[in-house]
Structure 1
Amino acid sequence: MNPTIRLSVLTLALGAMVACERKAAPTEVRESHQAEGTHDGEGVHLSLKDIRGLRFLVVSEPRAEGAWYPAEAIGDESAQAILSSPVKGIVSAIQVPPGQHVGAGAGLFTLQSPELARLKADWLSARAKRDRTEGEWAREQRLYEAQAGSRRELEAAKSEAATARADEEAARLALEARGLNPEMAGAVMTVKAPRAGSVTAYKIQLGQGVEAGQELGRFQSAFAAIVQLELPLPAPENWQPGTVTEARKGDGQRWKARLEGTPMILTTDTRRLSYRLRLLGGPLPIPGTPLEIHVPLAKTVVLPQSALQQVEGTWGVFVKEGEEAEFRPVRRGPELGTDVMVLDGVKPGETVVGEGAYLLKSLQIKRKSGGDDHDH
């Protein structure tokens, strides 16, 4: 073959080989990146090399858990009372401020009441008339027996005395129906504590005029039989109405507590589940006393809260596989102090990142956003 022709053939062959290599390069890069785990979502494998600050732990066997949660003693409906006056009047004095503990029958505030003065005057007038007519009837009875008086005058005196007695009885009942002792009633009335406890709030001011039956304040019994408890989601699965658990106070005092109902909705402010328990036995705490309730929880895996990370709204853990870690979604349960229950997603014996998991979370987010895969 002509040397010139042979050289031309070799040149064309070498050019074709270089072109093929250039076309194959992007495919090889993609395959290499897939091997390193740069695809999105679950199944992303992150290299653990050169990442400092990680601590690993082996998932232990599930265990039955229970935790103490903060709660507050409150008075039930029977321990609360509305303060009111049975008569019209004007507030002349407030003797006990809200929140101050008082005994049963202690004076809370006083009213100047023209209505009460009129009722007392009516009763005194009716009683005086009754005494006078009964005296006249007794005199006519003596005259009639001595044949010095007529039957007609005797019957008239008797009828007038009966009417006077009825009027006095009506005036007396008018006072007693308002909870007042006729003998002790006067122009000034004191509203008293219905039982030992404290005023939670007043709805009156000095010099204010009030109507009969108007709500003037609220009173709370000194003892609380109800405990209000709020728990984070999810709700304990094995806690049903009627379940008896324990309640305790900071000084060591303990009670049995019965769950009265399970919540249907979340509280509007804390977005937690609100439970109501009744304390069994005594002596009971005062309303507002901080308590703790022991809540029985399910038998589950328990991990430190630092091991759980939230990636795009999904809770999960980074499971170690060789020199790599994979983000795996889990079902998060109630918190146990610095730990948290994991209801599903990991198995005993697996190794997860316990501390520093947030570093892997940042790396995964950076990869998904197109950052440098090797920027740790």
Structure 2
Amino acid sequence: MHLKSKPATPARLAHPASVFLALTALLALTSGLAACDGLSAQEDSGSQSAGHDQAEGHGHDDGHPHADTNEEDHEGHDHGAEETGDEGHAHGGEEAGHEGHEHGHEGPIRLSDEQRKEFGITVAAAETGAVTDSFTLPAEVHYNGDRLAHVVPRVSGIATEVNATEGDDVKKGELLAVLDSRELADAKSDYLADVERESLQEISFRREQQLWDKKITSERTFLDAKSALAEARIARRGAEQKLYALGISKDQVVNIKNEKDTVLTAYALTAPFDGHVVKRHITLGEYIGADRQAFAVADLSSVWIDLSVFPGDLDRIEKGQTVDILDDQGNVIAQETIAFVTPQIEEGTRTAIARIIADPVGGRLRPGMFLTARVTVDSGQDAVKVPRAAVQTIEDKPAVFVETDEGFEPRNVTLGPKGENDIVIAEGLKPGEKIVTEGAFTLKAEMSKGSFGGHHH
């Protein structure tokens, strides 16, 4: 049995009045919540405002109102300005005045006799004259190079005699040694052969000349004989000159033909001038070549003293200057004159050489000695000069203290050449003006302190 289902009926719609009431209730609830949120925010804002007031009360209400604090700050600022500004200005002005006083004392400086004595002030008139200065240079003594001979044989050979040794005094031409030389023997033999050849050619020429005069011989034969004689003479002269070049004297050459055969090999080494044997490099039986020194002979009647001149001193060194030669104790050994100054600077030492030719002073100047040379120079003309101690630097300028009727006044001057003890015043001072020669530094120091005129610190 099938039952028919009833069709669904639509839901009943709410009554309009109920809907209105529900909406009204919802709006009321929403308004209440908004009111609660606003109250909470107002409470929080009030709390923050109270905390801020409390903080400001701590900062301003702690017995010091805010306005009063500003006034105190302002007063403190004014007070600081007065103390700092006024005191700083006053103190700064005083210091500035003091510093200005250090650079120069305004007006003449008056000193009593007691103050002059206390400060050691000495016054003298400015003088005129040449300013001298001296400086020292290193010096070394050498043999006189113009009187030092290195005796070298002109032929090689073996020493058969050695007659001199170091320390010997020798005379010019004195025999020093003898060499046995084959080279010399050959040269003498050639000369003797050429002499004989010339003699034979001369005999032949004379005979041919007689025949030519008698018209017995031909002209060609006569001319051949004449030419052969000329060649023989040239050969003999060449051999003779070769002997001269080997150191054989003219007299010895003439006597060669009378010498024995053993003498032809003998070569004599002789002293070139009077002197002293300072070196010997040959011994008996030793072979010595023509390029080797056998002896050194020096004339000790004079020596060279070479001064090493630095480039900065070259303009103060010249030929003819007088030089004091000092030993290692500073004592003057001799006074000598500069003979010449080399124009070039030595590459190794970077110095020039000023040479003195000196007497050995009885052996006190010996080659190899190191000495000191003192050179004295002057300004070359008369000028106003003052002691070095009289010149002081005031405000970065040279000055001297001049005595006037009112007292001492510092005066700027222009300096000229400086000497060992004096300085030339080029401008600013006249001869005869009275200046402080001793105690000028003390006077400058006391002036800078303001000790004069009642200005003390």
> Between Structure 1 and Structure 2, whose CA radius of gyration is higher?
2
Structure with the higher helix share, 1 or 2: 2
TM (normalized to structure 2)?
0.43
Structure with the higher strand share, 1 or 2: 1
